[in-house]
A and B are shown apart, each in its own frame.
Chain A
Amino acid sequence: MTTTNVDIPGVELNEEGFFVHPEQWTEDIVPELARREGIDELTDAHWKVIRFMRSEYLEKGAGPTVRALGKTSGVSVRELYQLFPKGPAKVAAKIAGIPKPRGCI
């Protein structure tokens, strides 16, 4: 969990572990962010979702929910949960350095 980890230089995280300043994110720190979420090995599919989250955020100002991800990222809902068992949109948003997606569906 994030609370047991030391700070990443140049990165400010909020209480829940989301980036306070999304512009502080770089792809170099993705493996470390993923490890903190219990993902030790990043596959191409993980990267696909992380990059998609990031680009959606940069384009629309908010990250997609799981339903939106399942419909638009090219990764099925089932696979999203296999990749990010602790909540695909939430965990991928943390790793992609973007705010937590807000949406009830």
Chain B
Amino acid sequence: MKETIEKVSIIISKGSLEGIYPGLIMANGARAEGIEVNLFFTFFGLDAIYAKRHEHIKLATVGNPGLHFATWAGGLPGVSSLMTHYMERKMGTLDIPSIPDFMEMIYETGAGIYACKASVDLFGLEKNDLIPEVQDIITVGEFYEKAAGGEIIFT
């Protein structure tokens, strides 16, 4: 019998477009394979579930050599917005959902969605600042309890 993965817990720690999407795609893809999934949002990754901000996630145009821009060009006013807009349009043509839509869909798949308590406290947030799909604000210890018996992926 082929070896299978039964459960994954994915940590999203970055708040940029390219920092958030991979974890969401892996979470959604795991559910599609019938794998149990927990998503844990920590540090700037919290922006993906912060109701005021999750529609305004930007692509990092500074310190991102993958864009093959001159470093100074990435820092010009408006460049990040422009590149984000361009990327979002391209993703739209491939039917990749926006971050808010993606979060809703992942919730519908039955994945667990959790916020890191230390980060929520650090940013002075409360449960009702987060999107309704968030099940709970949990400590790192509680995260490990939920992750027990599965794989952990840090992004």
Contacts and interface: CB of A to CB of B under 8 A. Distances in A.
B63 interface: no
Contacts of B118: none
A87 B31 contact: yes
Contacts, number: 48
Interface residues of B, number: 17
Given A87-B34, A88-B32, A105 B108 contact: no
A81 B110 contact: yes
A78 interface: yes
Interface in A58-89: 65-68, 70, 76-78, 81, 85-89
A65 B108 CA distance: 15
A104 B102 CA distance: 13
A1 interface: yes
Interface residues of A, number: 21
A28 interface: no
A53 interface: no
A100 to B, nearest CB: 10
> For the complex, would chain B's binding face be called helix, strand, loop or mixed by DSSP majority?
loop
A90 B97 contact: no
B34 A105 contact: no
Given A81-B109, A105-B25, A90 B1 contact: no
Contacts of A68: 95
A99 B97 CA distance: 24
A15 interface: yes
Closest 7 CB pairs of A and B: A86-B34, A87-B34, A77-B108, A78-B108, A66-B32, A87-B33, A87-B32
